[in-house]
């Protein structure tokens, strides 16, 4: 069990709850930046207000061994710096009870932890690609290398999906109650995506087990929101200055946070609502609002901002054309496509987003947001595009965002410098641009990628024409002029 404090954090207010009484009732897969500044922080604040025993066991399945080792070295305590435009507040997080990594502790230790009786929730921040799902169908991608490997050795899994199914098999075998599987990733209807991938995998290996999971396990959808840039040496140096000691697990984020959770838990849950989370019966409208208005405009700014020479999102906001284009993207391209509960003020939400994007204290890199676009575009822009095409309404900001993505994944910026394109489909993109060069001939071939654009969009001549025109404009005039043209 953890002790009450370490010398490292004596300058900060200590947890008021007894850390020694915490149990690992939540197993979390993916001890990344976002989780540290969001779910773990909510849990910490819930513990401050309830004194309950809901502790978290953190698990990284791929990479991040150093982070787990460092976390252990500081008694599983770490800091979150909430950086407003004018001031910064540092919080000490004590909700983490223990940590595991298959490379450090073995796969069996991870599975054994997930099978412990008190574990009631397995939560995840594993990014879109961690679900091994086909973005076009939302079902398990059986051709995924990790899934193929796990199908051959289901009792010695590698993927998050494989670990969850094997842990549920072991719980069923031991006569234990199942846990709730709670996705906290920025994936549309994330609980449904997790459920589909897990059931598809389970049915391929054991139909009885799959039936038991289908009947007994719940998969609540969640909407999560907080801007959390990846930790940089600069961030860690700043945290060390604020704390008086270095914290390699520390993270900086904006003060704003939001968590909307479908109240569907099979084995109990913490009272996260006392820390500001909202339990609802239907998360989908909130999720779509955030994915389209925040994430969609974030992607727009990431691609066109990077190409325009802006390193951070806040830098793009210093350009009036980018600022206006982002607001128009939210209110003219995305908001009309949403069906929100009565009383939702989307104009106020859009203005708040622009304010958040403008925060100069947050160094949120355009390059970071630009990663994995093939996994993000279907959710952030696909639904809105189809709405506008069906209604013959104006979608020029979406067309420009997609053209910006295409120009970005070409892998060379406007000054001829190489772009480090991080995407599961980067080899495919490279092959397309090798064949066509950075020319409009690549547009149709990119739009033909079914997992990103389905089969319908390429058949719409006006849409193909609009994206091609936007791509040509970026090629000839550059990203800044293209954004100004909107």
User: Is residue 360 scored above 60 in pLDDT?
Assistant: yes
Residue 82 is inside which H or E element, if any?
strand 78-83
Q: Across residues 68-86, what is the average pLDDT?
A: 95
Going by pLDDT thresholds of 50, 70 and 90, the confidence category of residue 6 is: low
How many Å apart are CA 221 and CA 290, to the nearest integer?
A: 14
The pLDDT, as a whole number, for residue 122 is 98
pLDDT at res. 413:
97
Mean pLDDT along residues 94-99: 98
Distance CA 32, CA 470 (A): 36
Helix (H) or strand (E) holding 27: strand 23-29
**pLDDT confidence bin for 2, thresholds 50/70/90:** very low
Of residues 26 and 379, more confidently modeled: 26
pLDDT of residue 212: 98
Distance of CA 120 to the CA centre of its chain: 23
Structural tokens at position 485: 């043209």
pTM over the 0.75 mark: yes
Within 274-345, where are the H helices?
A: 284-289, 296-307, 313-316, 320-328
Q: How far apart are CA 388 and CA 383, in angstroms?
A: 9
How far apart, in whole angstroms, are the C-alpha atoms of residue 317 and residue 92? 31
pLDDT given at position 233: 92
Q: Looking at the predicted structure, is the pLDDT value of residue 136 above 90? A: no
Tokens, residue 56 = 């978290």
Pairing assessment for the beta strands 23-29 and 88-93 based on DSSP bridges: unpaired
Counting residues of the chain whose pLDDT is more than 90, the rounded percentage is 91
What are the backbone dihedrals phi and psi of residue 418, each rounded to the nearest 5 degrees, phi first? -70, 140
Mean pLDDT in residue range 109-116: 98
Domain 284-484 in CATH 3.30.565.10: no
User: What phi-psi label fits residue 138: left (phi over 0), alpha (psi between -120 and 50 degrees) or beta?
Assistant: left
pLDDT confidence tier of residue 447, bands split at 50, 70 and 90: very high
The dihedral region occupied by 23, where left means phi > 0, alpha psi between -120 and 50, and beta the remainder, is: beta
Burial 27-38 (b: 16+ CB within 10 A, else e): bbbbbbbbbbbb
Render 429-446 in DSSP notation, one character per residue: HHHHHHHH-SSTHHHHHH
The rounded radius of gyration (Å) of the Cα atoms in the chain is: 23
Q: Where are the alpha helices (DSSP H) in 116-263?
A: 145-152, 160-174, 190-205, 207-216, 233-243
Question: Domain spans of the chain?
Answer: 7-280, 284-484
Task: Report whether CATH 3.40.50.720 matches the domain 7-280.
Answer: yes
**Average pLDDT over the chain, rounded to whole?**
95
3 has pLDDT over 70: no
pLDDT surpassing 50 at residue 5: no
Q: Which of 8, 2, 16, 133 is nearest to 58 (CA)?
A: 2
Taking residues 383-406, report their average pLDDT: 97
Token digits for 203?
A: 């049915």
Read off the pLDDT of residues 299-342 as tens digits, 9 standing for 90 and up. Answer: 999 999 999 999 999 999 999 999 999 999 999 999 999 999 89
């Amino acid at each position: 069990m953890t002790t009450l404090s370490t010398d490292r954090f004596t300058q900060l207010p200590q947890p008021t709850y007894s850390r020694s009484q915490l149990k690992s009732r939540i197993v979390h897969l993916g001890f990344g930046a976002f989780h540290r500044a969001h779910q773990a922080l909510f849990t910490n604040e819930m513990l401050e207000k309830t004194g309950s025993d809901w502790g978290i066991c953190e698990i990284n399945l791929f990479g991040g061994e150093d982070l787990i080792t460092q976390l252990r070295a500081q008694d599983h305590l770490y800091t979150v710096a909430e950086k407003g435009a004018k001031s910064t507040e540092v919080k000490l997080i004590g909700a983490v009870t223990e940590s595991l990594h298959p490379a450090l502790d073995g796969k069996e230790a991870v599975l054994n932890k997930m099978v412990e009786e008190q574990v009631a929730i397995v939560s995840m921040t594993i990014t879109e690609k961690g679900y091994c799902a086909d973005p076009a169908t939302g079902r398990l991608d059986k051709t995924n290398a990790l899934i193929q490997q796990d199908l051959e050795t289901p009792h010695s899994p590698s993927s998050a999906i494989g670990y969850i199914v094997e842990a549920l098999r072991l719980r069923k075998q031991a006569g234990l109650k199942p846990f709730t599987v709670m996705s906290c990733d920025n994936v549309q209807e994330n609980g449904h995506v997790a459920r589909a991938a897990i059931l598809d995998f389970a049915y391929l290996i054991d139909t009885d087990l799959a039936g038991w999971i289908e009947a007994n396990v719940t998969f609540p959808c969640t909407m999560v929101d907080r801007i959390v840039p990846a930790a940089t040496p600069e961030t860690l140096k700043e945290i060390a200055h604020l704390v008086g000691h270095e914290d390699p697990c520390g993270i900086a984020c904006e003060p704003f946070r939001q968590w909307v959770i479908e109240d569907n838990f099979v084995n109990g849950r913490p009272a996260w609502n006392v820390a500001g989370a909202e339990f609802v019966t239907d998360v989908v409208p909130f999720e779509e609002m955030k994915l389209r208005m925040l994430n969609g405009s974030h992607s727009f700014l990431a691609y066109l901002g990077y190409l325009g020479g802006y390193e951070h999102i806040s830098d793009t906001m210093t350009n009036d054309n980018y600022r206006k284009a982002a607001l128009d993207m939210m209110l003219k391209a995305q908001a009309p496509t949403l069906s929100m509960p009565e009383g939702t003020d989307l104009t106020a939400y859009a203005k708040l987003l622009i304010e958040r994007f403008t925060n100069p204290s947050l160094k949120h890199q355009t390059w970071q947001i630009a990663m994995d676009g093939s996994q993000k575009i279907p959710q952030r822009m696909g639904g809105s595009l189809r709405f506008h095409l069906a209604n013959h309404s104006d979608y020029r900001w979406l067309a420009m965002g997609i053209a910006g993505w295409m120009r970005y994944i070409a892998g060379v910026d406007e000054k001829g410098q190489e772009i480090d394109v991080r995407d599961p489909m980067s080899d495919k993109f490279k092959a397309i641009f090798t064949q066509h060069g950075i020319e409009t001939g690549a547009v149709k071939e990119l739009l033909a990628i079914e997992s990103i654009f389905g089969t319908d969009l390429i058949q719409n001549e006006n849409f193909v024409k609009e994206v091609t025109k936007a791509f040509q404009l970026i090629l000839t005039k550059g990203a800044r002029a293209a954004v100004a043209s909107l």
